[in-house]
Amino acid sequence: MLSKRIAIDLGTANTLVYLAGEGIVINEPTVVAVTAEENKVVAVGKEAKEMLGRTPGNIVAMRPLKDGVIADYTVTEAMLSYFIDKATGASRFFKPEVMVCIPSGVTQVERRAVLDATMSAGAKVAYLIDEPLAAAIGAKIPIAQPAGHMVVDMGGGSTEVAVISLGGVVVHDSIRVGGNKIDEAIGAYTKKKFNLLIGERSAEEIKIEMANALIEDQPSNESSDKEKEEQKMEIRGRDSITGLPRTIELTARQVNEAITPVLLEIVHGVKGVLEKTPPELASDIIDKGIVMSGGTSLLHNFDKLMTKQTGVPCHVAEDALLCVVRGTGVALENIELYKRSISRK
């Protein structure tokens, strides 16, 4: 085949690109820096993320996707074009076939927006696949079997919960809560408790370094958990009262206090899907457990919190960050097998 085939996991936080026959070729933040006046793209990906919160008045660094769907069509199109060019080489004679994965709960209008943006960015054919299905394929779950499998894909902007059987989604829900909401919760907590304003990037660093979904009150036998609980971190920001720079010390327990309401919102969404699941499939899920994928699933002890709250064993998929893009790539390479689950333009 002369035209290349590309699978794109268009995430709120990160965009991953898979090139058929080669594997994952791009993994960059979904951030675009544009000029304020002409809306001209200045930087995309890692370079643009460095600019978040640090731009002069004439440049705006922004995330063109919000809660898993396109918030700024023109900028998304420019970003897709940049990633397609980078994956295929800018001087392309044949247009590539592109498959993009999207949250399962999006409206027809939002689906159309993704298809149109992909075609405008230079695709010959555009395909769409539901995110939980792609995550299940990427996590090597045998989805074609007549058995229930539950997948919870937690990204930056949304959490996709789905029960899959016979190669299709039986019950699903899209919760507009993800890693970004956890960052926001940490920022709101430092503002409320310490009158300290911190940026988006600082909140994300705190989450990666210190966030622990489950801090037990009883003494833990595992020293690592105990250390994690007593872990402290210096946070720098701006005092909201004096307006001057200030440093505070934040503990893991305080971070846990800040993020727990957001985590429980995700758990509540998972419980909602379990309640709607047919009994036969529910018994399969108890046997096989819930598979968690996506960046937010890597939060320390989140699988334990999910198990404790739902009563169903949970485990994090191997290479949780890459499940969706791998699954999208597999579906693209075996399009005949998955054609029932794919829409195209």
Look at residue 223 in the predicted model and tell me its pLDDT. Answer: 52
Q: What is the pTM of this model?
A: 0.87
Label residue 337 by pLDDT band (50, 70, 90): confident
> Between 311 and 226, whose confidence is greater?
311
Look at residue 9 in the predicted model and tell me its pLDDT. Answer: 92
What's the rounded mean pLDDT across residues 305-327?
Answer: 93
pLDDT tens per residue across span 178-229: 999 999 999 999 999 999 999 888 999 999 999 999 887 545 555 555 555 5
What's the rounded mean pLDDT across residues 46-59?
Answer: 86
Look at residue 181 in the predicted model and tell me its pLDDT. Answer: 93
- Asked if residue 324 lies in contact with residue 236, where contact means CB atoms within 8 angstroms, the answer is no
For 129, residues 6+ apart whose C-beta sits below 8 A from its C-beta are 99, 100, 101, 102, 327, 328, 331, 338, 341, 342
Domains of the chain, CATH where assigned: 5-134+323-344 (3.30.420.40), 141-177+261-321 (3.30.420.40), 179-260 (3.90.640.10)
What's the rounded mean pLDDT across residues 259-276?
Answer: 95
The CA-atom distances, in angstroms, between 69 and each of 9, 104, 227, 302 are 12, 11, 39, 25
| pLDDT for 312 beyond 90 | yes
- Average pLDDT of every residue of the chain: 88
